[in-house]
Structure 1
Amino acid sequence: MTKLYITLLFLTFSVVLTAQTSQYSDADILNQNKPERVEWFRDLGFGMFIHFSFDSQLGIVISHSMVGASDDYLDRYINTLPKTFNPNNFDADEIATLAKLAGMKYVVFTAKHHSGFCMWDTETTDFNITNTPYEKDILDEYVQAVRNAGLAVGIYFSPEDFHFLHENGLEVRRTNINDIPHHLMKKYLELNELQTIELMAKYGDIDILFYDGGEGPLVEKCKQVAWELHPDVVVTRGAMITPEQTIPGTTLTDPWEACLTMGTQWAYKPANENYKSGKRLLEILIETRAKGGNQLLNVGPKPNGELPEEQEARLREIAAWNFVNGEAIEATSPWIIPNEENVWFTWKPKEKTLYAILTQQPDWPRGERREFVLHSVKSTADTKVEVLGQSDKRIEYQPETDAQTYYEQKDDGLYLSCVRAQRLYNNHSWNYPVVLKITNAEPAFIPPSILTEEAQLVQTGGTTYIQFNGKITDYGDSKELKVFFQYRPLPGFTNQLGTQEWDETKFLEIENDSFQYKLPAKSKNITYQYRTVAKLPEAFIYSNYRTISTN
């Protein structure tokens, strides 16, 4: 596509969109995702996030080092650092193939992060990858490779642009648009409009857009332009819940997408990184799908474009598990409850197929039989149970061992007995989740619905307490329901998925469907995370997370 053609596109689309802007209220623009496209997106389930930019050369946080930086730093960051950026080992086909093996159905690439540096051949600014030693349009390489691999194409775009702020004499900071002069705000909006037009016009139909930063008119302008040019595009952040470095405490009915890093940083971090294990990443993926969400797992390529060895290794761990068990996370819905302790559930209602994903099963020797009881599941006359990936006919080198999976329905639950039969590692060890596929299953009960309400700091007798509040909105068919709270100091931003330790209150009295607990606030300046829990004879039911500070 020639520069002249792009310029003509700018003029044509700008006139059309400017004429139509007055037709849109903020509420109209807020979410124009088509319901059928949202359901398509939810079925994808698992995606790869790629954070990559020229500052990966330093192994520092992407973009954010510009905030609070000296004039000298900004000058060298903007004018010198791009001159040594040459990701000549970037292999988009290899990355797309690895994503597909890992069970990912879509990829989202950072076309422009907050720094304003564009990873494509743009006419809107010289601050882009074609003005580096690499010279080529890396975004085009990515789009073609992902599309050729049969994966959905996603683009991350920041309407917030630190380079724009700096070159227009404004302080570089997370955007506070209220003090941007009107004439510069008009120019700011125009930049985002033109860049969005360019992205939507040059690379074919983009499937997914992830907007980050520039809340308010900046992001609303981008969404308006994108949906006008391509009504089928699904906007995630900017139009749906997108928790970062955490996942909700309970199943959500609305669509949501969690994004997380393998370690502590989005872009490449060559030293001082603390990676989650491949097993832990799988557990987070499983929990995400059990609660009805999508997971967007991040990688940060090295400055030469290659994936760090640690990140590739974890993706291949996930790929091995996915090759055996991928159907348990693709195109699934939540079950009546997300889990029974360490057994997590996904569900395909049309097929009446339930997947019971057995996590936290360390040191399960090949050939050893283990038994489980599921209280939320009831079998039917047509029920069948199997271990995904296994034939249930043979265990290598153990011809006398029974490999069959058995089940029995009793009054208090579905009793299951299975063997880990498949040899996947040479040392016969496999410490990853095993999946039981249960066809023609039915729910065994109707679960209650509980809420974690806002807590307050209260004074009683000169002592400050945190008063936790909860509510039962639906008892389901439960006849024996007990409630309590779990609480803990809020883990650090990047560590919320690294710990599962909670303190618990006693069982609480329920009055008019509500209950409370007062916890002495022994220290100041602590932020607590808390949630409501209901204990049934069959299972525990967990509610949404909330936080409160003792400041």
Structure 2
Amino acid sequence: MTMQRWFTEAKLGIFVHWGIYAVDGVPESWSFYGGDLTREAYMRQLDGFTAARYRPDDWARLFARAGARYAVLTTKHHDGVALWDTRCTDLSVADRTPAALDLVGPFAEALRRHDLRVGLYYSHSDWSHPDYPTVRPSSLHRPWADNRFAMPAPGEEDPERWERYLRNVHRGQIRELLSRYRPDLLWFDGAWERDESQWRMGELREEILRQRPLTVLNGRMLGHGDYATPELGVPITPPEGPWELCYTIGDAWGYQPQDTHHKSVRELVRVFAETIGHGGNLLLNTGPRADGTIVEEHAQRLEGLGGWIRDNQEAVYATERGVPYGHHYGPSMLSKDRRTLFLVCFDTPREFIELRGLKNKVRKVSVLGSGAEVAHRVVGGFPSGGVPGVLRVAAPTLHDPYATVLALELDGEIELYRGHGVG
């Protein structure tokens, strides 16, 4: 699987969880699945979903100012409500809500006008369609999935209805998204309720790539995606290959008025730096209100993150994962030519910053954003034994309020010592 270069260089995407669940501010899909309210009460939100202040160009401009290179919209969550005028079911905001229009098309068009790549989320699961809960997997990987909206009772399976769902709804809607909106990325979810053989994910991948060969597919395809998708926390050991952390500005995914624990810009900068330092992308989520407006506190956080990225963009886009922890106690990024190492310091540096195990000579150290040069020297080491000394960089007098980035220009491609020293 060859990953598209735009994705690995994007670093930041914006996740948008938007749907009828924003009307009453309840958890998307899960609120009726778990019995917090009836499905009938959940679906009454259709009557209040207006999208009256939906301005996708405003979204796209905000996302671009945040430093994002792509965005992903929840075109259909597990509740089965489509944000476009699908012909495969009768459950869409175009047919069943006061919004009465396709919301996906304007989103895709606005992103492209502002040079952002188009990502579309689509749930494999559909807890509203009567043909969906008709087969059981060979084993329940998540025991709580044995739910009347997802599974038939043992002995009540109906494989013909499952095949009808797969053919007419699942595959049909994915074809609609591909042909109408030409997404650069399909972001799947909800595959855990069936076996790979029931979904026939390998066939789905082949079908998608026949229709649009350059489409990036996320990892929630039971082994047939292009990259891993950890959630809500930077992994201690990053996945091999390309990956993306999906993360929320608040605590919830969709809009919930009681969700006021908005992460600070400093927190978001930290998570972003740790993610790209480990070689991943950050997919940062916001949940718009039912009228299409983005929560002001979320917009402020995105603007703040974008300001930090602009000041330090040299260390962001055209970089790869940096040195392992132990060499530097913080994130680091490496330029594509492997001749500049960027060290991130979250706290105000005091006296000096250390870098261990660097074989290269350092030509210059400077602070990104200000360009101020910083003194540095090498302490200790055992040159005759091939053991480099410790590089000590003087604490800069100017520093960023969120995270200071130092650029170390090396005398060649980076070389690291990973041995145990001489004794």
Where do residues 466-505 of structure 1 align in structure 2 (5 Å cutoff)? 477-479=419-421
2:404 to 401, 413, 434: 434
Residue of 185, 201, 204 corresponding to 1:208: 185
Q: 2:17 — aligned with what?
A: 51
Task: Encode CA deviations 1:426-460: one digit per residue, 9 max, x unaligned.
Answer: xxxx531011111226656333xxxxxxxxxxxxx
Residues of 2 paired with 1:480 and 1:87: CA distance? 67
Cα contact 2:276–2:333 (8 A) shared by 1? yes
User: 1 or 2, which has the higher strand percentage?
Assistant: 1
CA distance in structure 1 between the partners assigned to 2:151 and 2:302 by the alignment = 35
Give the structure, 1 or 2, with the largest relative contact order (CA under 8 Å, sep 6 or more).
Answer: 2
SS of equivalent residue, structure 1 residue 436: strand
Give the counterpart letter for 2:172 in structure 1.
Answer: L
- 1:250 to partner: Cα distance: 2.5
What is the letter of the counterpart of residue 410 of structure 1?
A: V
**5+ long unaligned stretches in structure 1:** 1-33, 393-403, 423-429, 448-476, 482-551
Identity %: 27
Change (3 A) 1:114 1:180: farther
Amino acid at match of 1:110: T
Work out the number of aligned pairs and report it: 390
Task: Report the Cα distance in structure 2 between the residues aligned to 1:233 and 1:252, rounded to whole angstroms.
Answer: 21
- In structure 1, the partner of 2:384 is none
Deviations 1:507-550 (A, max 9, x none): xxxxxxxxxxxxxxxxxxxxxxxxxxxxxxxxxxxxxxxxxxxx
> In the superposition, relative to structure 1, how do residues 167 and 230 fare at CA in structure 2: closer, same or farther (>3 Å)?
closer
Alignment of 1:265-344 (within 5 A): 265-338=252-325, 340=327, 342-344=329-331
Structure 1 position 139, deviation (Å): 0.6
Which secondary structure state, in structure 2, belongs to the residue aligned with residue 319 of structure 1? helix
C-alpha RMSD over aligned residues: 2.7
Residue 413 (1) aligns with residue 390 (2): yes
Residue by residue, what CA displacement relative to the aligned partner does 1:215-246 show, whole Å, maximum 9, x if unpaired?
A: 43337154343222112111113213211112
Return the offset for 1:173. Answer: 3.8
Which SS does the other structure have where 1:35 is aligned?
coil
Q: How much has 1:60 moved relative to structure 2?
A: 1.2
Indicate which of 207, 226, 233 corresponds to 2:215: 233
Once the two structures are TM-superposed, the CA of residue 298 in structure 1 deviates from its matched residue by 0.5
Structure 2 SS opposite 1:242: coil
Aligned partner of residue 320 in structure 2, secondary structure: coil
Q: Secondary structure at the match of 2:392?
A: strand
What CA distance in whole angstroms lies between the structure 1 residues aligned with 2:98 and 2:421?
A: 69
Deviations 1:284-336 (A, max 9, x none): 11111111111111010011111111111111110111110122121321223
Residue in structure 1 matched with residue 416 of structure 2 by the alignment: 445
Any gaps of 5 or more consecutive residues in structure 2?
136-146, 381-388
Query: What amino acid is aligned across from residue 51 of structure 2 in structure 1?
Result: P
Paired with 1:292 and 1:146, the residues of 2 have a C-alpha distance of 25
Q: Is the 8 A contact 1:299 1:311 kept in 2?
A: yes
Q: Matched residues in 2 for 1:163 and 1:48: separation?
A: 27
**How many Å separate the matches in 1 of 2:326 and 2:94?**
49
Q: Verify the 8 A CA contact 1:111 1:118 in the aligned structure 2.
A: yes
Paired residues for 1:57-76 under 5 Å: 57-69=23-35, 73-76=38-41
CA contact (8 A) 2:251 2:259 kept: no
Letter in 2 for 1:230: R
Q: C-alpha distance in 2, partners of 1:298/1:330?
A: 20
Residue 136 in structure 1 maps to residue 101 in structure 2 = yes
Instruction: Specify whether residues 169 and 380 from structure 1 end up closer, same or farther in structure 2 by C-alpha distance, changes over 3 A only.
Output: closer
SS of 2:90's equivalent in the other structure is coil
Give 1:85 deviation, angstroms: 0.4
- Shift in alpha-carbon separation, 1:446–1:391, aligned structure 2, 3 A: closer
Shift of 1:118: 0.3
Q: Give the Cα separation in 2 of the matches to 1:435 and 1:176.
A: 55
Calculate the TM-score normalised by the size of structure 1.
0.66
Pairwise CA distance, 1:43: 1.7
Which protein shows a greater Rg? Answer: 1
Measure, in 2, the Cα distance between the counterparts of 1:112 and 1:293: 25
Is the 1:336–1:446 Cα contact (8 Å) retained in structure 2?
no
- Report how far residue 409 of structure 1 moved: 3.0
Is the Cα–Cα contact under 8 Å of residues 51 and 300 in structure 1 kept in the other structure?
Answer: yes
